[in-house]
Chain A
Amino acid sequence: MKKEIIVSRGLCKEYRRGSERVHALKNADFSVGEGEFVSIVGPSGSGKSTLLQLLGLLETPTAGSINIGGTEAGRLTERDLVKLRRNNIGFVFQQFLLLPTLSVRENIELPLLFNRKNVKPEKIAEIIEMLGLSHREKHLPHQLSGGEMQRVSIGRALVNEPKILMADEPTGNLDSATAEKIFELFKKLNAAGLSLIVVTHNMDLASLSHRVIKLKDGEISAG
């Protein structure tokens, strides 16, 4: 097996809903190797998005540990956690979450503002071209189709050159033909060496990945 880029041990997440405690994720042991493409599947409420959010350092676990590229995330200060997330992880959301007042290009460039990195026009142009959005560069999100918006969201996730791309139901809002194209794009990125963890409901698409992790009632049942 290739070197592990992300490892979780005993990962738990509990939420409070009024007086009730909800165990969204129970004791999840999980790892992804460098250059691996992993799908996480399971019914609604099984905890797959929670697992992805914890791995992506977007949420704090109730218990357990996450190690990314040899760094133990639980021991980091907020500042170092931001750096770890920024330098290693790109995140793609189901609802795209693009800024409506920014153009395609500006949305893709956004993470660089927070990274204090100079925008390299040729690099942005390369990403835009790879995503097939050259003709849409100056368009605003409301002028794009769902598939195009998701591609912009992928471009935004890639601009910091992460080691792992995480996507939460990236095709959930897209028709099947567009969804297939997005997965083809993921395969292309994976072939270029990027590790991918994708949460999906779509078993056909999940079957395109190297490994499928199944979750049920907050527990990993297979994979």
Chain B
Amino acid sequence: MRRRVRTSLTIAGVAIAIAVLFSLLAFNAGYEKQLSGELGSMGINMLAVPKGCPYEAASLIIHGGVIPKYLSYDDLEQVKNIDGVEIASPMLLHQFFKDDKPHIVYGINIEDQKLLKPWWKVEGRYFTEDEAGVMVVGRSLAEKENLKVGQVLQFGPDGVPTTIVGILERTGTQDDEFHFLPLADSQKIFGKEGQITTIAVKVKDVSQIAAIGKKMEQIPDIQVVTMTQIQGTIMNLVGSAQTLLFSVIIIALFISAVGIINTLIMSVNERTREFGMMKAVGASGWDVSRLIVVETLILTLIGCAAGLIIAMAGSKLVESFVRGVIPYAPAGNLIVVEPWLVFACIGFALVIGLLCSIYPAIKTARLTPMEAMRSDLE
């Protein structure tokens, strides 16, 4: 009975450690993957933002952050005229609150967006550039707010009636959360005529990004932020929270590993008398060592399998916890299950198993049968 309890505790200890390790690794892999994917899905190579706008703020633009500085149409023309620029698309960002929840509005040039994001598909239709009182909304937003094509909303500070002409099919990015309006109409609704928050730029040849960026920065009002810089900035923003989280988890993992090692060594020691009997009835030192190592590895692998199942089953819970503690989390699954993660966890379990079993295995193998039988009694 005592052994059954100890075995269950050992398996539970390994399972918890593996579940934590797997979630940690899966989150680490998933976060960077989703962030890169999200930046890649913007279809642009860099953003032109008003000079003086810090990188941190510029980075926030990609998920709807509003900065209190603007560019002009003159700046847009100058960017368009730079050699190598394929698309320079002006955007106005605005944020308003409804029921204490922030809502993001993007004023866009729809034809540019169709070129930048060819994967966009719409239920209903897109608006045209010179339309007014129309908008397209993201899928998640439509679901949350129960919005339908053809529905009319009172929009902006003056409550301008605006018809939803289309709902985007799910993109798996932040676009699923936004309102999209024709640029000119959004400028009018929010009193920002002639003003642009940012210019999204796509270049003809990606090897020329640095050179084109330099030329853009020669325009007096413009500061350039590349997607790589944005990714770096976001990673820095989340870095400290991530470091804290990782430190806590690694300490927990270490404590748990020490606990597992202790339990496993205890359970092997508890059986030393049994191993002595086996030697007395014909087992060699090697037979006993092999038995100890194999049994311990089986135990840790069962724990590992249980831990992986727990981690996969609980990934949504971990994800929602992580989203609560880090400053920026991209859309999509933050916990990404990849084969190497599973192998890494199996490797961790095997290392723990070997660490726990090799010492008692060697020790027991060296004992005479009677020494082994006595050691259990002492």
The residues of A with any CB-CB pair to B shorter than 8 Å are 53, 56, 58-60, 78-79, 82, 85-86, 90-91, 93, 97, 99, 110-111, 114-115, 156-157, 160
Contacts and interface: CB of A to CB of B under 8 A. Distances in A.
B281 A157 contact: yes
Contacts of A60: 368
B75 interface: no
B330 interface: no
B57 to A, nearest CB: 66
Interface in B328-378: 368-371, 373
Given A97-B273, A97-B274, A99-B274, A114 B370 contact: no
Interface string B259-290: 00000000000000110011111111101000
Contact of A58 (B273, B274, B287, B369): B369
Contacts of A156: 281
A110 B284 contact: no
Contact of A114 (B273, B283, B369): B283
Contact of A59 (B273, B274, B287, B370): B370
A114 B282 contact: yes
18 contacts: A58-B369, A78-B284, A78-B285, A82-B279, A82-B283, A85-B280, A90-B281, A91-B280, A93-B277, A93-B280, A97-B277, A97-B373, A99-B274, A111-B281, A111-B282, A114-B278, A114-B282, A156-B281
Among A82, A90, A111, find the residue whose CB has the most chain B CB atoms closer than 10 A.
A82
Given A53-B370, A97-B274, A114-B287, A58 B282 contact: no
B93 to A, nearest CB: 68
B282 A160 contact: yes
A86 B370 CA distance: 15
Given A58-B370, A59-B368, A59-B370, A86 B277 contact: no
B136 to A, nearest CB: 67
Interface of B: 273-274, 277-285, 287, 368-371, 373
A57 to B, nearest CB: 8
A154 to B, nearest CB: 12
B291 to A, nearest CB: 10
Contacts of A114: 278, 281-284, 287
A101 B329 CA distance: 51
Contacts of B373: 97
Contacts of A56: 280
A58 B280 contact: yes
A115 B282 CA distance: 7
B282 A85 contact: yes
Contacts of B281: 90-91, 110-111, 114, 156-157, 160
Contact of A86 (B273, B282, B285, B368): B282
B282 A82 contact: yes
Contacts of A115: 282
A79 B287 CA distance: 11
Contacts of A111: 281-282
Contacts of B284: 78-79, 82, 114
A58 B278 contact: no
A58 B273 CA distance: 13
A97 B370 CA distance: 13
A60 B371 CA distance: 10
Nearest to B377: A95
Contacts of B282: 82, 85-86, 111, 114-115, 160
**3 A-B pairs closest in CB distance:** A86-B282, A97-B277, A114-B283
A79 B281 CA distance: 14
Given A91-B280, A97-B273, 10 more contacts: A58-B280, A58-B368, A59-B368, A82-B279, A91-B281, A93-B277, A97-B373, A114-B282, A114-B284, A157-B281
